[in-house]
A and B are shown apart, each in its own frame.
Chain A
Amino acid sequence: MGEIYPEGIKKIFLMGNPNVGKSVVFSRLTGVQVIASNYAGTTVEFTKGYIKLGEKKAEVIDVPGTYSIEPTCKAEEVAVSMLEDAISENKDGNIVINVIDATNLERNLNLTLQLLKKNIPVIIALNLWDETKHTGISIDKEKLEKILGVPVVPTCAISGEGIKELVSRLPQAKAKTFDYAEEERWHELGNIIEQVQKVTHRHHTFLERLGDASLQPVTGIPIALILIYLMFTIIRFIGEGLIAYLFEPLFEKLWAPVMMKLSVVLGSEGFIHNILIGKLVGGEINFVESLGLLTTGLFVPIAMVLPYVLAFYLVLSFVEDSGYLPRLGVLVDTLMHRLGLHGLAIIPMMLGLGCNVPGALATRVMETRRERFIGATMMAIAVPCMAQIAMIAGLIGKHGAKGLGLVFGTLFLVWVALGILLNATIKGYSPEIFVEIPPYRIPSLTTLMKKLWMRTRWFLQEAIPYVLLGVLIVNILYSLRIIEFIGELTAPVVTGILGLPKEAVGALIIGFLRKDVAVGMLSPLGLTLKQLVVACVVLAMYFPCVATFAVMIKELGALDMIKSAGIMIASALLVGGALNLLL
């Protein structure tokens, strides 16, 4: 067979239905790790990587999944417009690897047939090949290849099987090999399936029974409650354990003496000392309150936040890979409709609990602009990220469970009330849920660890520089007395409405940069429990951090972001003021 492009392949587009393993194939081809989960719509933007083909390098693009070339949500729009670009741009050298789920041949081939009408060469990766065996499906791949006229390579991307053959056959990709009348597409599909696939009956597996049970209201709701309780307990257990037995001792026993020596060398005070070590509290370094780059700047992200981030992402990754999240979405769908969303909005909310940035991106799984606005606004206001949660737990947890209950209880009520209000005031309606429910899979330990590592590394890269910058700015603002100055200006609001000391405005300023540092800044102010509760709730609500802000502008557009920000500031003042009066 002749090669499609004598000049070599330049760009490879990975396309296919959602949740067929495109991202895993992508990782296999390029060595670039991307987040893959067991639900439709994990990849909402494209990722690029490179593969070496002989002497040359080709670009590989992981396109969001789509069921057809007529998009129904923003992630699918991205996919379809990328395909159009791939066809129209100087097309020499562009090919599509159509990744298909061998256990769902008919639905996947529907997209394949549409792709084969386009003027771009296609090769098929028949993924999840290993799963066909225990699902009682047998596919005659030679026959399929003959009918479609393009190479069909069985793969199992998770284990890497078939990837080599896929790469070696890339040059055989072909365009427009299978023609049919558009209205006959399903008929043609039926014919193909009849010729290549045999399904034998088999008994239900345990995972399938569990899958059904978690969708029946009678069994599903208890399962959901138990699961959520377990998730929280495990996150707390791991997070608190890591702090108490690993990170705090490391800082207190090993790092503190080193810092004390440095403090003496620097003369225990002065500008440089304050920047690096911070202020000594009772002659000692206080890792939370000293506010030096090498003390608080490292302690907050590593010893206070990282343990919870690790614990959260371990649990979240497990739940994601199991395939549970869409089922949870179905269970809460009716309730979410009251809030102007549908059940799947639970996914951006859960991701937002880790970090609001991926949470805001994940609102792309929602079909309408209205839902994306409501969802993103609700998340930015009432879903605190894990960094913030960890700091609040550290700060308020000392005073017992009541304060924590007040903070998170208030935020939850705000979340519900906001949804109801936005749903009632914004024109339009929320579309109905329509989603594929993936089979339950037992998460593989290696993919779990890879994912955990990626997310943790991402956190460290994003958090540490910003925390350090935040601490540095705090020091500069304090030494130039700017915080004092703004404090005087804003006293009517901060003290008058919220009942906080005017120095608390410093936390509100830094909160725009990093919310975890901001919460930490409340610690030396000697606030009462009531003031702590008000301050933490307001800090969570009043504005997103700069990273989330940037993503939200991109996702919502500037105008909607201004509206959203107005809602944030207004609701923060309202709720903060009310708490101040009521508590």
Chain B
Amino acid sequence: MGRFNLAQMNQGETKTIIDIQGGHGLIKRLESLGVRCGIRITKISSQLMRGPITIKVGNSQVALGYGMAKKIILE
């Protein structure tokens, strides 16, 4: 299976996060909303023109910017 980031993932797919390519700050921030390595997430929507991406993580939904989404690597 290939590696790709959240921005490239298809809508409706569910994948496991295997890496977050960011500094300590970003990792902590994502983590505080439950987005971290080993977690399965589902992509719900993405906005036009590199707009934010919404994912389902656990029982909640989180919207995050395109730049952040590119740093979230899934398998």
**Quick check: A331 and B34 within 8 Å, CB to CB?**
no
Q: How far is the CA of A343 from the CA of B65 in the complex (A)?
A: 10
Q: Which residue of A lies closest to B69 (CB)?
A: A432
Q: Which of A330-374 contact B (CB under 8 A)?
A: 330-331, 333-334, 342-343
Residues of A within 8 A of B (CB): 67-68, 70, 72, 103-104, 106-107, 110, 135, 137, 186, 199, 211-212, 215-217, 220, 326, 329-331, 333-334, 342-343, 431-437, 439
Contacts of A331 in B (CB 8 A): 47
Among A106, A326, A439, max chain B CB count under 10 A is at A106
- Asked if A68 and B28 make an inter-chain contact with CB atoms under 8 angstroms apart, the answer reads yes
Q: Are A342 and B62 in contact (CB under 8 A)?
A: no
The docked-state distance in angstroms from the alpha carbon of A106 to that of B39 is 12
Name the one of B29, B45, B51, B60 contacting A434, with C-beta atoms under 8 angstroms: B29
B28 touches A434 (CB 8 A): no
For residue A212, which residues in chain B have a CB less than 8 angstroms away from its CB? Answer: 44-45
A107: B residues at CB distance < 8 A: 32-34, 58, 60
Are B64 and A432 touching (Cβ within 8 A)? Answer: yes
Q: How far is the CA of A220 from the CA of B33 in the complex (A)?
A: 24
Say if the beta carbon of B4 comes within 8 Å of chain A.
no
List the B side residues contacting A342 at CB < 8 Å. 65
A434-B64 contact given A212-B45, A215-B44, A330-B52, CB 8 Å threshold: yes
B63 touches A326 (CB 8 A): yes
Known: A186-B36, A342-B65. A433 touches B59 (CB 8 A): no
B39 to chain A, nearest CB (A): 9
The minimal Cβ–Cβ distance linking A192 to chain B, given in whole angstroms, is 14
A436 & B33 in contact (Cβ 8 Å cutoff): yes
Could you tell me if B51 and A72 are in contact, using CB atoms closer than 8 angstroms?
no
CB < 8 Å neighbour of A67 from B33, B45, B50, B68: B33
Decide if B1 is an interface residue (CB 8 Å cutoff): no
Known: A68-B28, A331-B47, A434-B29. A106 touches B34 (CB 8 A): yes
Structural contact, B32 and A433, CB atoms closer than 8 A: no
**Shortest distance in angstroms between A103's beta carbon and chain B's nearest beta carbon?**
5
List, in ascending order, chain A residues with CB within 8 A of B63's CB: 215, 326, 329-330, 333, 433-437
Q: Is the CB of B67 within 8 A of A68?
A: no
Q: Is the CB of A110 within 8 A of B32?
A: yes
Given the interface pairs A212-B45, A333-B65, A334-B48, the reply to whether A434 lies near B33 with Cβ below 8 Å is yes
B37-56, CB under 8 A of A: which get 1 and which 0?
A: 00000001101111110100
**List of 9 A-B pairs having minimum Cβ-Cβ separation, nearest first:** A432-B65, A67-B32, A437-B61, A107-B34, A334-B51, A68-B32, A215-B45, A330-B63, A333-B52
B10-46 toward A: CB 8 Å interface, digit per residue (1/0)? 0000000000000000001111111010000000110
Can you show 8 pairs from A to B with CB atoms below 8 A apart? A110-B31, A215-B45, A217-B45, A334-B50, A432-B68, A433-B63, A435-B63, A437-B54
Given A68-B28, A107-B34, the answer on whether A432 and B66 have CB atoms closer than 8 Å is yes
User: Given A70, A72, A216, which contacts B45 in the complex, CB threshold below 8 Å?
Assistant: A216
Nearest residue, chain B, Cβ from A331:
B47
Complex CA distance for A186 and B58, rounded to whole angstroms: 14
The secondary-structure label for the interface of chain B is mixed
CB distance from B36 to the nearest CB of A (A): 6
**Which residues of the partner chain A approach B50 to less than 8 Å between Cβ atoms?**
334
Q: In the complex, are the beta carbons of B34 and A110 less than 8 A apart?
A: yes
A103: which B residues are within 8 A, CB to CB?
Answer: 59-60
Given the complex of chains A and B, what is the CA–CA distance between A307 and B68 in angstroms? Answer: 44
Known contacts: A104-B59, A110-B34, A433-B65. The answer to whether A70 contacts B28 by CB under 8 A is yes
Q: How far is the CB of B44 from chain A (nearest CB, A)?
A: 6
**Other contacts beyond A104-B59, A333-B63, A432-B66: 4, CB < 8 A:** A72-B29, A104-B60, A217-B51, A334-B48
Residue from A68, A103, A432 whose CB has the most chain B CB atoms within 10 Å? A432
Q: Tell me the minimal C-beta distance from A542 to chain B in angstroms.
A: 35
Contact A432 B52 (CB under 8 A): yes
Q: How far is the CA of A116 from the CA of B10 in the complex (A)?
A: 39
Q: Compute how far the CA of A475 lies from the CA of B28 in the bound complex, rounded to whole angstroms.
A: 59
How many angstroms from the CA of A67 to the CA of B48 in the assembled complex? 29
| Given contact pairs A215-B44, A331-B47, A334-B48, A434 touches B59 in the complex (Cβ within 8 A) | no
Name which residue of chain B comes closest to A219, CB basis: B45
Whole-angstrom distance between the alpha carbons of A334 and B62 in the complex?
17
How far is B60's CA from A439's CA once the two chains are assembled, in angstroms? 8
Q: Which of A67, A104, A433 contacts B52 (CB 8 A)?
A: A433
Q: How far is the CB of B5 from chain A (nearest CB, A)?
A: 14
- Is the CB–CB distance between A436 and B45 below 8 Å? no
Residue from A215, A329, A334 in contact with B49 in the complex, judged by beta carbons closer than 8 Å: A334
Point out the residues of chain A lying under 8 angstroms from B32, CB to CB: 67-68, 70, 72, 107, 110
A246 to B48, CA, bound (A): 46
B58:A433 contact, CB within 8 angstroms: no
Cross-chain contact B60 with A432 (CB below 8 angstroms):
no
Question: Nearest CB to that of B30 among chain A residues?
Answer: A434
User: Least Cβ distance of B57 to chain A in Å?
Assistant: 8
Minimum CB distance partner of B55 in chain A: A437
Q: Which residue of A lies closest to B57 (CB)?
A: A107
Q: Which residue of B lies closest to A131 (CB)?
A: B59
Let me know if A334 and B28 touch, CB within 8 A: no
- Partner of A436 from B31, B61, B67 at Cβ < 8 Å: B61
Least Cβ distance of B51 to chain A in Å?
4
Cα(A388)–Cα(B52), bound, Å: 34
> Across the interface, do A330 and B47 meet the contact criterion of CB distance under 8 Å?
yes
Q: What is the bound-complex CA distance between A103 and B56, given in angstroms? A: 13
Determine the residue in chain B with the shortest Cβ distance to A107. B34
Q: How far is the CB of B47 from chain A (nearest CB, A)?
A: 6
Q: How far is it, in angstroms, between the C-alpha of A434 and the C-alpha of B57 when the chains are bound? A: 13
Question: CB-CB < 8 A to B64: which residues of A?
Answer: 432-434
B33 nearest CB across to chain A (Å): 6
Residue from the set A70, A434, A435, A437 with the largest chain B CB neighbour count within 10 Å: A434
Give chain A residues whose Cβ lies under 8 Å from the Cβ of B65.
333, 342, 431-434
Interface centre among A186, A211, A215, A216 (most CB of B within 10 A): A215
